[in-house]
Chains A and B, each alone.
Chain A
């Protein structure tokens, strides 16, 4: 099964949904992600067979130790792509096109190490050789937003929507977690109409998950929890450390999780990171 995960690095990742994946019997996943702790957690739990990615970073901590450990042990296969190629492949899938042309990837080892990538020749007079970025079809997409109504109209209040609607557009089944489910009429009162990035035709399921992006940020509501990311990174030190982390923060329900990481009052006060 191929799962696409929205957000970017340590920002607006659907972490409550990812923790649910860890608790589920699903395995041998192919994951497409602008990777952050979503990828690290899934690696630590042995859920990923293949990762389609351009980077994995915790932003405030440049490299994710769980992902590194899995890669350096040869436990995770990769399709490593330029991050622009990924949005291009998702867009191709959304538009039901077999590929979209780009220069990104040509003449680099992205082309050499991904032997199934093909090039096309422009049919016009320029005859340029271009990389044909294949459609990245997803079985399911997971994204986290600020608000949604019960039918799946969804609102992102943060300054960057990333590529969440492309993930939804490329997927057969689309699931949105949100800080709060609100009546439809509330949506345009809570933010200007430009913040309604997903319409209900792009969404199959909605779940309310307060602080559902934690420990990543959900601007403007809360920032990246640097303290928790340090604990998360520390859990890569040994099998015992991971077992301990998993017991405290993964094998618990959402309400217990929020309490375990410091409670609602603390989380609501986490400031936005400055870069």
Chain B
């Protein structure tokens, strides 16, 4: 990152916000600090129709700034308890960005456990949560703060989310609601535009080479001949991130 005008976190936030461009009037769920700030940035700039929550049970008319509230009162515009969440996400009106522990070439993600044996995992993680239902019902994107071979694996230990591996799809199962969009990392932006809907490099962050990204990935990545550079944040985007969405600079803790 040669340019001191912005930080890597700010670049990732603006790159990840692109996931919600033209998303329409759907719930934008950013789970984790960078995804949440990215959804918030999209909401206050090019995607004003996005629905957002306060992280609890309410829809809010403007993104809630991250960190301590300091007297800030969320501007409630609706009620969204968990029972309505499943109705909403199974109906497809959502685009979520989450932070997987593992992801593979076909976009399968793992947030459940590490190791070969479900009866005795090497590392127990959170559990699949709603990822199976999310990934088969509505658009999903992902953020990975540390792009390396332990995350970008040949095959995930537990496919919590569905992907494009044709062998996983029984006849008659609808695949047309599955919509895996972007994978934003500290090195690059990736998508599933390669043949067989495999992962490919969409853009490289300034100063990063394709070789570096491949070196940190356990499976072969597709890429165009001339991979573009990830667009840098605009002055207005930086102003909104710094003064409105994250005034306490929590994003400084993302990359240590």
Our verdict on whether A and B bind, yes or no, reads yes
Interface residues in A199-234 by Cβ distance below 8 A to B read none
> Which of chain B's residues has its CB closest to A166's CB?
B83
B2 at interface, CB cutoff 8 A? no
Most interface-central of B79, B83, B119, B124 (chain A CB within 10 A): B124
Are B130 and A54 in contact, with the CB atoms below 8 A? yes
Q: Using Cβ atoms and an 8 Å threshold, which residues of chain A touch B161?
A: 108
Known contacts: A72-B124, A82-B132, A159-B57. The answer to whether A104 contacts B68 by CB under 8 A is no
Stretch at the interface among B162-170, B184-192, B203-211, B234-242: B162-170
Q: Say whether, besides A72-B121, A108-B159, A274-B68, A84 and B112 are in contact (CB < 8 Å).
A: no
Cα A6 to Cα B128 in complex, Å, equals 19
What's the least CB distance linking B171 to chain A, in Å?
Answer: 7
Query: Complex Cα distance A72/B130, Å?
Result: 22
CB distance from A11 to the nearest CB of B (A): 9
A98 to B142, CA, bound (A): 36
> Which residue of B68, B127, B168 contacts A54 across the interface (Cβ within 8 Å)?
B127
CA distance A103 to B162 in the complex (A): 11
- A104: chain B residues at CB < 8 Å are 90, 130, 132-133, 136-137
Binding site secondary structure of chain A: mixed
Partner of A84, one of B118, B133, B173: B133
Per the CB 8 Å criterion, the residue count for chain A at the interface is 48
Are B172 and A110 in contact, CB atoms less than 8 angstroms apart? Answer: no
| Residue in B83, B112, B125, B130 whose beta carbon sits within 8 Å of that of A161 in the complex | B83
A8–B86 Cα distance when bound, in Å, is: 14
Please report which residues of chain B, range 93-138, place their CB below 8 angstroms from some CB of chain A when the two chains form the complex: 108, 112-113, 118-133, 135-137
With A85-B133, A87-B86, A159-B57 already in contact, the answer to whether A103 and B128 are too (CB < 8 A) is no
Asked if A109 and B124 make an inter-chain contact with CB atoms under 8 angstroms apart, the answer reads no
Nearest CB of chain A from residue B99's CB, rounded to whole Å: 11
A108 to B140, alpha carbons, bound, how many Å? 15
Other A-B contacts than A63-B125, A84-B133, A108-B135, 5 sampled, CB-CB below 8 A, are: A83-B130, A85-B133, A108-B136, A110-B128, A159-B81
Q: List 20 A-B contacts (CB under 8 A).
A: A56-B126, A71-B113, A74-B119, A82-B132, A83-B129, A83-B130, A84-B89, A84-B133, A88-B86, A105-B132, A108-B131, A108-B136, A108-B162, A109-B160, A113-B158, A129-B172, A159-B56, A159-B57, A162-B82, A163-B83
Interface of A toward B, CB cutoff 8 Å: 8, 35, 53-57, 62-63, 67-68, 71-74, 77-78, 80-85, 87-88, 102-110, 112-113, 119, 121, 127-129, 159-163, 274-275
